[in-house]
């Protein structure tokens, strides 16, 4: 049996089991269980290659994050300040509306 057939069978069995598990939770999530099951089937079959590839991928991801760190930090600052401002405005608006409704 060649490698492609073994991987296909492993993914199909994983997708079948994953979709059965997902159907136990909610009938609309069968496709999510199928995707997760196929991924688990593939990872369990090729686990040695995955174990070797994960540290390489992490090093590449960390290098990319470090390359874009200043832009990422500025984006996070802008997002946090925008969310904080929006929250404060909504709380003030809710307080004003509550006091206006209590008056009547």
Same domain, 31 and 10: yes
pLDDT (tens digit per residue) in 20-50: 787 787 777 777 777 777 777 777 776 777 7
Same domain membership, residue 39 and residue 12: yes
Both 49 and 99 in one domain: the answer is: no
Q: Sign of dihedral through CA atoms 43, 49, 52, 57?
A: negative
Residues 5 and 40 in one domain: yes
Range of the domain at 80: 69-104
- In terms of domains, do 48 and 5 share one? yes
Q: Are 45 and 10 in contact (CB under 8 A)?
A: yes
Tell me the pTM.
Answer: 0.38
DSSP string, 32-71: HHHHHHHHHHHHHHTHHHHHHHHHHHHHHHHHHHHHTHHH
Residues sharing a CB contact under 8 Å with residue 30, sequence separation 6 or more, in sequence order: 19, 22, 23
Q: How many domains, the chain?
A: 2
Cα–Cα–Cα angle for 52, 53, 57, nearest 5°?
135
pLDDT tens digit sequence for 42-95:
777 767 777 787 788 889 888 888 888 788 788 888 898 889 999 999 999 888
Q: 103 and 89 in one domain?
A: yes
Q: Are 32 and 73 in a shared domain?
A: no
Identify whether residues 16 and 60 lie together within a single domain. Answer: yes
Taking every pair of Cα atoms in the chain, the longest distance, rounded to a whole number of angstroms, is 80
């Amino acid at each position: 049996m060649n490698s492609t057939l073994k991987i296909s069978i492993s993914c199909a069995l994983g997708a079948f089991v994953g979709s059965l598990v997902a159907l136990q939770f909610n009938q609309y999530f069968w496709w999510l269980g199928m995707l997760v099951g196929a991924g688990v089937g593939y990872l369990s079959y090729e686990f040695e290659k995955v174990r070797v590839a994960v540290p390489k991928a992490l090093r590449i991801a960390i290098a990319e994050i470090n390359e874009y760190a200043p832009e990422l930090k500025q984006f996070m600052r802008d997002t946090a300040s925008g969310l904080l401002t929006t929250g404060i405005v909504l709380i003030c608006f809710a307080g004003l509306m509550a006091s206006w409704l209590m008056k009547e």
